[in-house]
Amino acid sequence: MKLWGGRFDKASSKKAEEFTSSISFDRRLYRQDIRGSIAHARMLGSVDIVSQEESSEIISGLETILKEIEGGTFPFRLEYEDIHMNIEKRLSEILGPVAGKLHTARSRNDQIALDEHLFVREQCNRVRAGIACLQAAILATCREHESVIMPGYTHTQRAQPTLYAHHMLAYFFMLERDCSRFGDCRERADLMPLGAGALAGTTFPIDPAQVAEELEFSRLYDNSMDAVSDRDHIIEFLAASSLLASHLSRLAEELVLWSSTEFGFVEMDDAFATGSSIMPQKKNPDVVELIRGKTGRVYGALVGLLVTMKGIPLAYDSDMQEDKHGLFDTADTVSDCLSLMSSVISTMKVNGERMRAAAEKDFSTATDVADYLAAKGLPFRQAHEVAGRIVKYCTGQSRYLGDLDLEEFRKFSDLFHEDIFDAITVESSVGRRTSPGGTAPQRVREQMERAVALLEAKG
């Protein structure tokens, strides 16, 4: 008989039982569920809703069940629907009728809300740790290749010279904001819902503050219906994960491009690349391609839960059972992607010479020509036009700016002098971009110092 079966005359349809059961996936919450039940049982004993002896007996039974689950001997049963009922049924087998007292003053509605709050808090910590590891890998490659010059891009076209370290540090600081978002998410998940009951609270003289203290929650929900009705902490976790996945996907896309023969900027370590079943020469960047690809499933989890929640009336509805698939999958996906991207960055070879050659054999210092003329007093818009005509002149002859002599420059403006040749080297271009956050070596060193400080602050 179902633990809730007193009102029913007929057994559940097998099809309905299979359709409504969640034990196949919410069994993952066993730790959180047992931890919450232990805290609840201890509180029930503290306020004399059950005796101290009964409280201790229930706690001992729950600890036995934890050992059974972790030892692989726990008898999970589909007909008991979910992790809560499976644990409670097993507790009754171990203890007898006293096990039924555990559910006093609570509902599965506030019980699952508690489990998910505990899970989201843990996963926020897990993801933040993964972000820090990736940031450390990025900082290490920046330090190792601090002086490497590469082309910066806009519209996937070579734009201006920049330092490789400057380029990679952009991802470091994107990830720092991601880390902050998960910290914010954890703070808002730090609410204790147990005690809300089904929706209206309970008639028993409970002490939810004691439970909150044991479970290390900083505060209680102000409203019992809110406590069991919303999943905004999960939605926020999925939203933060989606932004993180976006940043990982963009980095992955660049590594895919950079590892191609056409770019040749980096080479994946053999441990994080694959071959072709038909083409012996291939070395495919499958790991980063999959990181890029998994972004779609993370986005899907967010959109799916937003759509699920948008029309649900207060308080709890079974639709909310659908929150777990996407939550569990996303938590694992982003953590795996962070770990693998850290390994990819740590082991890949950076071809600094190829990067520098790409920056030199192009017109990435054309802006410096315009800046040179503007510094001589020519309005920038006119200077821009002159620089453009010089580029057009060079392309017509299959030459680059560094191939011209002074006489050729002066055909376009008499403001050009010998110092133009110093102005259009890639070192000069990079070195003179000293605005805050710029690519000049001293500015990049400042960014790395800031990055070190941020990582040290995380411990």
Q: What are phi and psi of 220, to 5 degrees?
A: -105, 160
Rounded Cα gap, residues 452 and 458, in angstroms = 10
Buried/exposed 284-307: b ≥16 CB within 10 Å, e otherwise = ebebbeebbebbeebbebbeebee
Angle between helices 232-258 and 164-189 (to 10 degrees): 170
Q: Is 155 a catalytic residue?
A: yes
Question: Beta strand 149-154 with 157-163: parallel, antiparallel or unpaired?
Answer: antiparallel
- Show the 3-state SS of the chain: CCCCHHHCCCCCCHHHHHHHCCHHHHHHHHHHHHHHHHHHHHHHHHCCCCCHHHHHHHHHHHHHHHHHHHCCCCCCCHHHCCHHHHHHHHHHHHHCHHHHHHHCCCCHHHHHHHHHHHHHHHHHHHHHHHHHHHHHHHHHHHHHCCCCEEEEEECCEEEEEEEHHHHHHHHHHHHHHHHHHHHHHHHHHCEECCCCCCCCCCCCCCCHHHHHHHCCCCEECCCHHHHHHCCHHHHHHHHHHHHHHHHHHHHHHHHHHHCCCCCCCEECCHHHCECCCCCCCCCECHHHHHHHHHHHHHHHHHHHHHHHHCCCCCCCCHHHHHHHHHHHHHHHHHHHHHHHHHHHHHHCEECHHHHHHHHHCCCCCHHHHHHHHHHCCCCHHHHHHHHHHHHHHHHHCCCCHHHCCHHHHHCCCCCCCCCHHHHCCHHHHHHCCCCCCCCCHHHHHHHHHHHHHHHHHCC
Q: Strand 266-267 and strand 149-154: pairing?
A: unpaired
CA 66 to CA 30: how far, in whole Å? 8
Point out the catalytic residue in the list 155, 277, 318, 435: 155
Q: Which residue has the tokens 């070190």?
A: 452
Query: In the annotation, is 276 catalytic?
Result: yes
Selecting among 13, 180, 276, 339, the annotated active-site residue is 276
Active site amino acids: 155, 276
